[in-house]
Structure 1
Amino acid sequence: MLAPNAVTAMALCFGLTGVRYGIAMEWERAVACIVLAGVLDGLDGRIARLLRGESRFGAELDSLSDVIAFGVAPTLILYLWSLQAMPKVGWVFALAHALSCALRLARFNANIDADVQPHKSAGFLTGVPAPAGAGLTFVPMYLWFVTGLDIFRAWYVVAPWTAFIAFLMISNVATFSWSSLRLRKTIRMEAILVAGLLAALLMTVPWHTLLAVSLLYVALIPFGILSYAKVLRGKPAI
């Protein structure tokens, strides 16, 4: 249990450190901390399964870490960066992200022992997961980092986008999970090559890469919905 829970704790600390950098207005470091928290969040579950260290404690710690690192931290960063300039209701739009993240994780925990989970059984997720939601919420910041244009920092751009991602997190739309992606044996070497190049791009041009990955993820959402509908059509009637 020690190794995966330590990784989860590291993700939590990276999320809170992002808030620290946000308060200091070091925006690139703030976003980088949340991205690193997302990487660690993707590793802790796999480490737990690899070491057979899965536990109820680990599951609860992971959910608490996700709420803070991908709900509370991005909310504060976005508010300090842009939404505080919005008249009267800027904080409400910022809160929508944190609340949606908490509701999503509460739904996940409530269904963790459910016998019937249609999306999960078909290899899909329900809505956008918390780490992806945090990454997508930062799309205006990626654009600002890349272009330097203040239009992407304007509250009338950031607020609608934040509300849209908050909706996706608590929605019932089917989204792709790792288990739903099946690579043919003939292209696995190419997939490894792409993964290596992606890592190099993240180190070289991180904001361009994160922007491209985020937009690709959003573009794949309709295909996830259609793929899940196709799976349902292929099931025999009960």
Structure 2
Amino acid sequence: MSNLFPPFEPDPRAQPRRRFQAVPVRVLVPNVVTLLALCAGLTGMRMAIEGRLELALGAIVLAAVLDGMDGRLARMLQGTSRFGAELDSLSDFVCFGVAPGMVLYMWGLDTLGSVGWIAALAFAICAALRLARFNVMLEDPNRPAFAADFFTGVPAPLGAICVLLPVYLELIGLPRLVASPAVAAAYCVVIAGLMVSKLPAWSGKKLGSRIPRDAVLPLFVCVVLFVAVLVTWPWPVLAILTIAYLAALPFSAMRYARLAREHAQAARATAFAEGGEAMLQPEIDEAERPGRLN
């Protein structure tokens, strides 16, 4: 009869049940870096609205650096997650789609009226489409192994760095006639098209995965010197890097085409060899059948 009326208060010795499992710190660190990149992109938008273009450009470059770190940190710490991937995509859209378009619009595209706004919108929309396609292609099981070294189209962070080339040129000291708002709008549309195109762009993911011991110290010196030069002369360095990257895209496409031809030839050779073995197999079985008269 005592079981019919259980006590109102639960047993104090019973441990409370956890509704959610504890999250490892190694999973949180990459997401924190992604949020810092998002904060940098949003700050760049604020600086552009206030007319402080140099700080706006610096914030977008910082967001690009942090974006390059969060994925590597996640793989290094084995803290990859679906939540982190979605958060990274949303952050990339704001930092490398909305923020650069806003900077360009506040820099000079606003003088073109609706045409300048349409160019900024086109860049932001193409950045969103580029990121959506990237997330879908990660799950493609039929993608050849060599294609992992290439992006399909210019990635969003590099597109954001490249599209700001007219601003770099003006900050260097070139007159606006060289990069007028009309030219900048056309250039913005071209970079937007490169992001959503199927142009193979070398990713460089496997570059430096294994470094010889005798090259470690020179690499440290080169990285420190590059950072020092970038901080001292940021706009000439960014302009040179942008022009060099755009000039290297045709060579990247040619290398991808060569690797694709080699892969197709190897696949045809393998299929021919397997087909020849399949055709010879019935004759071998017939010859080995017992009781056959010679």
In which range does the TM-score fall when normalised by the shorter chain?
over 0.9
Stretches of structure 2 that go unaligned for 5 or more consecutive residues are: 1-26, 269-294
**One-letter code of the match for 1:133?**
G
Query: RCO higher in 1 or 2 (8 Å CA, sep ≥ 6)?
Result: 1
2: CA distance, partners of 1:171 / 1:187 = 40
> Which residue, 28, 39, 48 being the options, matches 1:13?
39
1:64-213 paired onto structure 2 within 5 Å: 64-118=90-144, 121-152=147-178, 154-179=180-205, 181=207, 188=215, 191-213=219-241
**Which runs of 4 or more aligned residues in structure 1 lie more than 6 Å from their structure 2 counterparts after TM superposition?**
none
Q: Is the Cα–Cα contact under 8 Å of residues 151 and 157 in structure 1 kept in the other structure?
A: no
2: CA distance, partners of 1:51 / 1:181 = 19
Q: TM-score, normalised by structure 2?
A: 0.76
Shift of 1:193: 3.9
Residues 187, 214 of structure 1: alpha-carbon distance in 2 compared, 3 angstrom cutoff: farther
Q: Is the Cα–Cα contact under 8 Å of residues 122 and 180 in structure 1 kept in the other structure?
A: no
> Which residue, 219, 222, 226 being the options, matches 2:247?
219
Residues 120, 98 of structure 1: alpha-carbon distance in 2 compared, 3 angstrom cutoff: farther
**One-letter code of the match for 1:218?**
L
Residues 77, 232 of structure 1: alpha-carbon distance in 2 compared, 3 angstrom cutoff: same
Shift of 1:200: 1.1
Partner of 2:73: 47
Higher normalized helix content (fraction of residues): 1
RMSD: 2.0
2: CA distance, partners of 1:117 / 1:25 = 45
Tell me the secondary structure at the aligned position of residue 150 of structure 1.
coil
**One-letter code of the match for 2:132?**
A
Q: TM-score, normalised by structure 1?
A: 0.93
Stretches of structure 1 that go unaligned for 5 or more consecutive residues are: none
Residues 188, 176 of structure 1: alpha-carbon distance in 2 compared, 3 angstrom cutoff: farther
Identify which range, 152-161 or 65-74, moves more after superposition.
152-161
1: CA distance, partners of 2:70 / 2:200 = 24
Structure of higher CA gyration radius: 2
2: CA distance, partners of 1:34 / 1:187 = 35
- Identity between Structure 1 and Structure 2 (%): 44
Q: Is the Cα–Cα contact under 8 Å of residues 146 and 259 in structure 2 kept in the other structure?
A: no
